[in-house]
Amino acid sequence: MGDASQSTKVAGREPVRLNPADAQARGLSTGDVALVRSQQGSLLAGVVVSDALLPGVARMHTGAWFDPSAPEIADCVNGNVNVLTRDVPTSELTQATSGAHVLVAVTRYDGPVPPVRAYDPPSTR
């Protein structure tokens, strides 16, 4: 895992950015770990509170390596947003997906936070 990638992580995971009002309503602060769920799947993310977002919006970047090492907690414990979206074309005319937009629920995660194993060699996972 590269230094540039690691420098953007929060609690060792891909960050989810939330408006201050949304974070307060969920009991979340910058640095907390959140469980992000959609109808498709779930992930753990590090919280960043930012007034640059409108209320009701959660923002995550793509790029976190998929880590399914603790399925009893979340489909990905490293914050790979692909687990939140369906992998289907937007129409019969295109192969593109609409993965950049999905309805999610964000809640505080207070359980034991599993280590990220996405970067470990397969023999040690």
Note whether residue 50 is domain-resident.
yes
Count CB atoms within 10 A of the CB of residue 6.
10
Q: Which domain holds residue 57?
A: 3-87+96-107
Note whether residue 61 is domain-resident.
yes
Residues 6+ apart with CB under 8 A from 112: none
Q: How far is CA 43 from the centre of its chain?
A: 5
Calculate mean pLDDT across residues 26-51: 97
Note whether residue 117 is domain-resident.
no
Note whether residue 120 is domain-resident.
no
Is the pTM higher than 0.85? The answer reads yes
Note whether residue 72 is domain-resident.
yes
- Is the confidence at residue 46, as pLDDT, over 80? yes
Counting beta carbons within 10 angstroms of the beta carbon of residue 108, is it exposed (0 to 12), middle (13 to 18) or buried (19 or more)?
middle
Count CB atoms within 10 A of the CB of residue 7.
7
Count of structural domains within the chain: 1
11 versus 35: the higher-pLDDT residue is 35
